[in-house]
Structure 1
Amino acid sequence: MTTPAAEAAASAGAGASSGDGAEPRAGGCPVAGRMAATPIFGEQLDGDMMPRLYERLRAEHGPVAPVAVAPGIEAWLVLGHRELVRLSREEQDFSHDPRRWRQLREGRVPEDSPILPMVGWRPALLFADGQQHRRMRAAVSDALSRINGHELRRGVRALSERLITEFADRKEADLVSDYARKLPLMVITGLLGLDEPTGRELVKAIAGLVVANADSADASKRMGSILLALIEEKRRRPGNDVTSALLHHPARLTDEEVLHNLVVMFVAGNQTTVNWIATTLRILLCDPAFRSSLSGGHLSVDDALDLVLWRFPPTQNFPARYATRDLRFGGQEVRAGDMLILGLAAANADPDILPEDGTPVVGNRSHLAFGAGPHTCPAQDPARLITRTAVDTIRHRLPDLELAVPEAELAWIKSPWSKGLAALPVRFTEPQLPRGPQAPRS
């Protein structure tokens, strides 16, 4: 049981290596032998370049386009906002269960394919339909609803100030590695009910998974061992934490179900929050109008965060749904067992649902950054609170923050799934550090 869970963790966080580095081009794999598919992976595509590819695919194919998500792996990328909403809501036509995937059932997926850890079935809400999904969703939602928002805000602010204090003397930092990547992990380990030393070990294991190198297998085993030990401890001695709430919920999740749902919540939720924090800080640094609107009170922090979710959703594409029958969808002939990818970033940019100038309306939360339908992300409220507090804290503690390199030189993660910066180098001169004792450790 440990190894599959740990592999699930590796895939959910770093899941998609860029494959064989093939340059994106038309004429890749045929989707079910019908149409040339365009790769959406490879060294030539990073988070900054992908939007242009989505618009080319939309122009060539309409709201549903044939793509390859890894070498030899064919899928449909859903680019249209209306089509993606339908895909997310109509479970009778589009299942979450990867055991329906025809290409896998027919043995046409290489054993070492980078997509397998992303979409392999596990007993978690992300891979279930109907009653089974509702059962696990109820447990996860109830566990998350028990989080005290006031306490979480105070804790995030204290941890944010602690991280800022650690690099303040240098007058420079990488806000991805020094701040955005560390903060959500520290917060989430506390929410799971881990003590600080064990939390640090889990953070190290996650870091080992994300790099996706030869040491990742050992890192995944460490993560699985830590979470299994946590589950056993919380069975014996429950506390006021998410793990205990899952274990003792009336839905009666098994230890295996708790483990896999923790992996999904922890790893997938963490990377999304990292990207949301880093992207918001990037826009504040690079977009004077955005910064002025926020500083002048014309935009609330929540309005600003939603504009980021519209324009730069932290997750670009999300796997997957599987057609339960042959049907015509978005102008394409989709067959039973075909894989469909949720093109969250492309759907948010669908010109059919945006104003004529293409600018999202302030206060409009009909974006699809968190999905739609019964599988809408259950952790979006705590993720928003963490992101809002992280952004607000650094704005006030580092008021003269500026980018340390030209914006064009910023490096992006190369992944078909994630819209994330690899680094965000900044400099500042007058940090406004908190007075009194150092912020408490989580």
Structure 2
Amino acid sequence: MPPHTSAAAGSGCPVTGAAAGGGPAALYGPGLDGDMMPALYEQLRAAHGPVAPVAIAPGVDAWLVIGHRELLQLTREEQDFSHDPRRWTLLREGRVPADSPLLPMVGWRPALLFTDGQQHRRMRTAVADALAGINGHELRRSVRDTAEHLIASFAARGTADLVAHYARLLPMQVITQLLGVDTQTGRALVEAIAGTVSATADAAEASKRMAGILLRLIDEKRRDPGNDITSALLHHPARLTDEEVLHNLVVMFVAGNQTTVNWIATSLRILLCDPAFRSSLTGGHLSVDDALDLVLWRFPPTQNFPARYATRDMTFGGQPVRAGDMLILGLAAANADPKILPPDGQPVVGNRSHLAFSAGPHTCPAQDPARLITRTAIDTILHRLSDLELAVPESELEWVKSPWSRGLAALPVRFTTPQPRTPVTQPTDPPPRRAATPHASRPTT
């Protein structure tokens, strides 16, 4: 049954029953976390194929695209799948409450994430140029200095939560510097953005706080530009309006901050929990970039991402999709599609054809800075805390309760005296590699 006609979305049906064909699977509620979601995706795949009916809130249905080939088609064919939520049938017909916690995340904004065609290319050019202006050596130095400062704040204790004390703080401090924001304002901005994407009753108020902080920043940088991303957007030949700059900053900050937090934390979890993986990395058999890509294949930081909107009636992935239907990008599920993985169950190594950063014209433009931040953060802490180990059994680790983001709630560790800081020669970033055949014989993750 097409999403905008189903009556089952508000039933709160159990995930297992929905996945077995009893109605749309509920992608909301306190029971969903990153640990149990992979099993749901496989249930949905078995019951519905590459496109499955889901509910993202009571009474709000959508299609979840979980096939790798279908997700590529969804992201590449803008003539059939628009980014503009004003096409969404449920929204146009007033069936999404004005105070819905979904709206701060999926409501239309004048930003590259919600536009198609020429408007999207105009905004993306400005954003891509602003990001390209980042000095890689200076960014690496900033990340390393920030990482050293954070490690020093808990080194004497011999214990830490690497989510709360490291992964959650490091990207925020680095990214706010890139935006030209001071630390105190950056902390307030992070809290506001986290509230905006939380899909709770407080999302609307958090969205207002976020807008106020960014508008003040834009006004300051319009009057007194600096060497930062905000100033670069404001003074780009694309001539973005202040409103466009504001909303593109939101998109960049949300994508850059939480994604990088999850990428760092999950990479560290695997290093702590998989001895073969860690020995391959420390022994030089596996590069840090190979390790980071393994994480993106198996545990993408964003597991589901909204949204595309069908521009016409069609059969897509075997489902009767109608014009105005919402389609959710099932990034984690598409990466696990058996049709594109090695048949022997080996991990994918030396291959960046994963969909962790989406695909097509809207591929994340900030993935290179995010990779540099993540790589440097992991290099630094492994060097300084060489005997780092998990402080609890792996089975006790908890995941954030979210159908969108895949991240750990905490990563408690212990260690002895940190290694002394040594001067590090700034390496040259390796050039992008061509996508390889997804077969390998490296450690499992």
- Matches of 2:150 and 2:142 in 1, distance apart? 12
Of 265, 268, 274 in structure 1, the residue corresponding to residue 261 of structure 2 is 274
Q: TM-score normalized by structure 2? A: 0.88
Name the % identity: 78
Residue 77 of structure 1: CA displacement?
Answer: 0.5
Q: Specify whether residues 65 and 282 from structure 1 end up closer, same or farther in structure 2 by C-alpha distance, changes over 3 A only.
A: same
Q: Specify whether residues 365 and 161 from structure 1 end up closer, same or farther in structure 2 by C-alpha distance, changes over 3 A only.
A: same
Alignment partner, residue 210 of structure 2: 223
- Matches of 1:306 and 1:162 in 2, distance apart? 27
Alignment partner, residue 293 of structure 1: 280
Of 78, 90, 95 in structure 2, the residue corresponding to residue 91 of structure 1 is 78
- Matches of 1:435 and 1:300 in 2, distance apart? 21
Structure 1 regions of 5+ residues with no counterpart? 1-18, 437-442
Alignment partner, residue 156 of structure 2: 169
The alignment status of 1:383 with 2:370, answered yes or no, reads: yes
Of 48, 58, 78 in structure 2, the residue corresponding to residue 71 of structure 1 is 58
Of 354, 367, 371 in structure 1, the residue corresponding to residue 358 of structure 2 is 371
The alignment status of 1:24 with 2:14, answered yes or no, reads: yes
Of 23, 26, 32 in structure 2, the residue corresponding to residue 39 of structure 1 is 26
Alignment partner, residue 101 of structure 1: 88
Q: TM-score normalized by structure 1? A: 0.89
The question of whether the paired residues in 2 share the 8 Å contact of 1:21 and 1:44 is answered with no
- Matches of 2:328 and 2:341 in 1, distance apart? 22
Aligned-CA RMSD value: 2.2
Can you list the C-alpha shifts for 1:100-142, whole angstroms capped at 9, x where unaligned?
0011111222333332221100000000000000000000000
The question of whether the paired residues in 2 share the 8 Å contact of 1:27 and 1:37 is answered with no
- Matches of 1:213 and 1:56 in 2, distance apart? 27
- Matches of 1:216 and 1:101 in 2, distance apart? 20
Q: Specify whether residues 407 and 118 from structure 1 end up closer, same or farther in structure 2 by C-alpha distance, changes over 3 A only.
A: same
Q: Specify whether residues 213 and 63 from structure 1 end up closer, same or farther in structure 2 by C-alpha distance, changes over 3 A only.
A: closer
Alignment partner, residue 395 of structure 2: 408
Residue 221 of structure 1: CA displacement?
Answer: 3.7
- Matches of 1:127 and 1:207 in 2, distance apart? 20
Can you list the C-alpha shifts for 1:16-53, whole angstroms capped at 9, x where unaligned?
xxx99956336669xxxx98211122222210100000
Residue 207 of structure 1: CA displacement?
Answer: 5.8
The alignment status of 1:188 with 2:175, answered yes or no, reads: yes
Is the partner of 2:354 in helix, strand or coil? coil
Residue 365 of structure 1: CA displacement?
Answer: 0.4
The alignment status of 1:322 with 2:312, answered yes or no, reads: no
Q: Specify whether residues 206 and 336 from structure 1 end up closer, same or farther in structure 2 by C-alpha distance, changes over 3 A only.
A: closer
Q: Specify whether residues 223 and 108 from structure 1 end up closer, same or farther in structure 2 by C-alpha distance, changes over 3 A only.
A: closer
The alignment status of 1:50 with 2:30, answered yes or no, reads: no
- Matches of 1:49 and 1:195 in 2, distance apart? 38
- Matches of 2:115 and 2:401 in 1, distance apart? 29
Higher relative contact order (Cα pairs below 8 Å, separated by 6+ residues): 1
The question of whether the paired residues in 2 share the 8 Å contact of 1:65 and 1:76 is answered with yes
Can you list the C-alpha shifts for 1:359-379, whole angstroms capped at 9, x where unaligned?
343110000000000000000
Alignment partner, residue 142 of structure 2: 155
- Matches of 2:267 and 2:206 in 1, distance apart? 30
The alignment status of 1:423 with 2:410, answered yes or no, reads: yes
Quick check: 388-397 or 356-365, which moved more? 356-365
Residue 222 of structure 1: CA displacement?
Answer: 3.6
Structure 2 regions of 5+ residues with no counterpart? 1-8, 424-445
The alignment status of 1:351 with 2:341, answered yes or no, reads: no
- What is the count of residue pairs matched by the alignment? 414
- Matches of 1:324 and 1:224 in 2, distance apart? 30
Is the partner of 2:157 in helix, strand or coil? coil
Alignment partner, residue 8 of structure 1: none
The question of whether the paired residues in 2 share the 8 Å contact of 1:413 and 1:419 is answered with yes
Residue 429 of structure 1: CA displacement?
Answer: 1.1
The question of whether the paired residues in 1 share the 8 Å contact of 2:234 and 2:240 is answered with yes
Quick check: 268-277 or 190-199, which moved more? 190-199
